[in-house]
């Protein structure tokens, strides 16, 4: 929560900073409610983490389309967790997507840069398995628990930036405050980790994506 508040603070500072900027383009873009392009991208953090964290494997892709100052955002991904110790073995894996709206607070820029706040609805479908081999008190056991093909949903508040670096090429990040997790697992095994959300034991949690984006123009600005 503290980190989320920090991000809000940074966001407020960003607003004041960008409000005072000298715009590269002197033209004022009139809002049009038909999308001018589709941006697609990939989350670099998931890809890097898959290579550096033995317990994680996953990816996430991103797409958005502009409707004036509003952006329809869709994110989809997959992650798997794998923890092996002498006492237990936990594995999960599943797919997820998030859909929502971002509101761009940079009203005067032709570069489709964004400083945005938004919201998401997230949904995940996953399975998880826990095998307990040895208990420090009760000794050697061999007990299996599983949740197969279960669903989870949650909400998110998002903020972040998208900045045009080259022609057709943007970089961006999204900080997300996740809340309201709802899972439908059987009572025998309580979910530990929900793909797309994180640790199920956290009523609220924090996420961060660093995106590389490619924009496909489909219509010129009016």
Phi, psi (5° rounding) for residue 60? -150, 135
* C-beta of 141 vs 218, nearer to another protein: 141
In angstroms, give the least distance from the CB of 57 to another protein: 16
* C-beta of 143 vs 216, nearer to another protein: 143
In angstroms, give the least distance from the CB of 106 to another protein: 8
Label the pairing between strands 70-84 and 88-104.
Answer: antiparallel
In angstroms, give the least distance from the CB of 54 to another protein: 11
Where residue 36 falls (left for φ over 0; alpha for ψ -120 to 50; beta otherwise) is alpha
The maximal CA–CA distance of the chain, rounded, in angstroms, is 73
* C-beta of 144 vs 219, nearer to another protein: 144
* C-beta of 84 vs 216, nearer to another protein: 84
Distance (Å, rounded) from C-alpha 62 to C-alpha 84? 31
* C-beta of 17 vs 182, nearer to another protein: 17
The partner residues of 157 in beta bridges, in order of sequence, read 119, 177
Question: Which residue in this structure is represented by tokens 């329809």?
Answer: 72
144, 92 Cβ separation under 8 angstroms? no
Distance (Å, rounded) from C-alpha 82 to C-alpha 55? 5
In angstroms, give the least distance from the CB of 12 to another protein: 11
Site residues for another protein per CB under 8 A: 3, 6-7, 10, 14, 17-18, 21-22, 24, 55, 83, 85, 87-88, 90, 109, 113, 130, 132, 135-139, 141, 143, 145, 161, 163, 165, 171, 173, 175, 187-192, 201-202, 205-208, 210
140, 116 Cβ separation under 8 angstroms? no
In angstroms, give the least distance from the CB of 102 to another protein: 16
* C-beta of 73 vs 106, nearer to another protein: 106
**DSSP label at residue 52:** H
In angstroms, give the least distance from the CB of 182 to another protein: 16
How many other CB atoms are found less than 10 A from the CB of residue 21?
10
In angstroms, give the least distance from the CB of 113 to another protein: 6
Select from 113, 128, 21 the least CA-distant residue to 83.
128
* C-beta of 28 vs 55, nearer to another protein: 55
């Amino acid at each position: 929560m503290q980190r989320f508040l920090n991000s809000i603070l940074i966001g407020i500072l960003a607003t004041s900073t960008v409000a005072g900027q000298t715009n590269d383009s002197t033209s004022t873009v009139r809002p049009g409610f038909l999308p001018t392009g589709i941006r697609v991208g990939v989350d670099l953090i998931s890809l890097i983490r898959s290579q550096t964290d033995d317990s994680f494997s996953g990816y996430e892709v991103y797409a958005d389309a502009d409707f004036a100052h509003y952006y329809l955002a869709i994110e989809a991904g997959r992650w798997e967790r794998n923890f092996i110790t002498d006492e237990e073995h936990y594995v999960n894996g599943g797919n997820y997507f998030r859909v929502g709206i971002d509101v761009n607070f940079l009203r005067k820029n032709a570069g489709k840069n964004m400083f945005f706040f938004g919201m998401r609805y997230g949904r995940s479908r996953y399975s998880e398995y826990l095998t307990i081999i040895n208990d420090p008190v009760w000794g050697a056991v061999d007990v299996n628990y599983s949740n197969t093909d279960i669903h989870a949903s949650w909400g998110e508040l998002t903020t972040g930036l998208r900045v045009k670096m080259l022609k057709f090429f943007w970089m961006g990040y999204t900080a997300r405050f996740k809340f309201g997790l709802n899972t439908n697992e059987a009572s025998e095994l309580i979910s530990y980790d929900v793909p797309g959300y994180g640790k199920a034991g956290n009523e609220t949690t924090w996420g961060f994506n660093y995106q590389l984006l490619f924009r496909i123009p489909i219509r010129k600005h009016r």
